[in-house]
Amino acid sequence: MSTRTSSGTARTTLGFALITAAALALTACSGGEPATAPAGASGAPGAAKGSLPTEDVVSAVKKNEAAAKLLPADIRQRGVLTIATSVGTPPSSTYLPDGKTVTGVDSDFAAAVAKALGLEWKREVVGFEAILPALSSGKYDVGTGNFGVTEERRKTIDFVTYINDGQGFATRSDSSLKAVTDLTQLCGLKVATGAGTTFEQTLEKNKGRCAEAGKPAYEVNVFNETGAVWMSLQQGRSDVLMSTINGVRYAVTQQKNVKFLNEYRRLDVGFAFKKGTPLAPAFQAAVNGLKADGTYDRILRKWGVTGSGIERSQITPPEIPAPTK
């Protein structure tokens, strides 16, 4: 799962402009603080079209002493963690209209956990596809980018979960498609999605189903930027779009002539770490502490994604099984 950004060109509405301009760069995520952009759910109720919620749900978070004690001694002494962050689209992560300030579900959770652990972040905006390899090499302590927990990723990455999102489809309003419940419904169509994502992996892995059904294969159109994915759909160069459930639900409220089709599958989403990280227990305790003090629910309500809540944070849980169709 992932989200991306784009240097939008012809933007159809203010909302679409926010989605594409949300990354005049390639990716990112932070605690709603200014960030320098590199070159290259349901929607939020209560927020006017084209606007983003600005409620402060983090500043009241208190240090969770029990969670902080689980941090490795060197991290407690250092007091700072390096975080690689990726900016995509609301409600997961996006830029405010100033093009620098990052906001969203991921950034609020990152900021809240940092406060709970008594730590500061040293943030760096990194391309989505580069974050997991960089974690494995030890370049960063933590990664955020709406990373879904999969068995393949579990081989080299540890996760601490904080929401449940997943894979969903959208198409143009004039399409006869009603829902994609079986990937053979895509046969013969062009499907737009993001590079290096679980969507791309799912589509490539299941291409053979069309031949088995005696149908022409679907074509996977892969883009490095979220804005380019949506532009491909809007301009008719792709027939269907596959992206995050929450991201697609939000985007269709901000654009003309597109519609949400359906959820295809759910995935747990978490903070990402190098395999074997000693940080996981502290992060898990911090997230569960946010659930206990009400901060967790306030973040979900702010972004209109209460359907993505989890009962408790887990460390690298098994991948939620994919549909058999």
Tens-place pLDDT, residues 291-300:
999 999 999 9
Q: What is the pLDDT of residue 50?
A: 58
Buried b (16+ CB within 10 A) or exposed e, 26-52: bbbbbbbeebebbeebbbbeebeeeeb
Tell me the per-residue pLDDT of 195-243, one tens digit each, with 9 for 90 and over. Answer: 888 899 999 999 999 999 999 999 999 998 888 999 999 999 999 999 9
Q: Which of 98, 109, 103 is nearest to 143 (CA)?
A: 109
ω into 34 cis (within 30 of 0) = no
Residue segments in the chain with a per-residue pLDDT below the cut of 70 = 1-50, 325
Q: What is the pLDDT of residue 159?
A: 98
Spatial neighbors of 10 by CB under 8 A, at least 6 apart, are none
Q: What is the pLDDT of residue 223?
A: 93
Q: What is the pLDDT of residue 100?
A: 82
Tokens in use for 219?
């074509």
Q: What is the pLDDT of residue 225?
A: 84
Torsion of CA 56, 59, 61, 62, to 10 degrees: -170
Do 27 and 145 touch, CB atoms closer than 8 A?
yes
C-beta atoms surrounding 211 within 10 Å? 11
Q: What is the pLDDT of residue 1?
A: 55
Tell me the per-residue pLDDT of 30-63, one tens digit each, with 9 for 90 and over. Answer: 233 333 333 223 333 333 345 789 999 999 999 9
Distance from first CA to last CA of the chain, Å, rounded? Answer: 19
Q: What is the pLDDT of residue 98?
A: 85
Do 222 and 31 touch, CB atoms closer than 8 A?
no
Do 265 and 66 touch, CB atoms closer than 8 A?
no
Q: What is the pLDDT of residue 324?
A: 75
Q: What is the pLDDT of residue 96?
A: 83
For strand 120-125 and strand 80-85, is the pairing parallel, antiparallel, or unpaired? parallel
Q: What is the pTM of this model?
A: 0.82
Do 160 and 149 touch, CB atoms closer than 8 A?
no
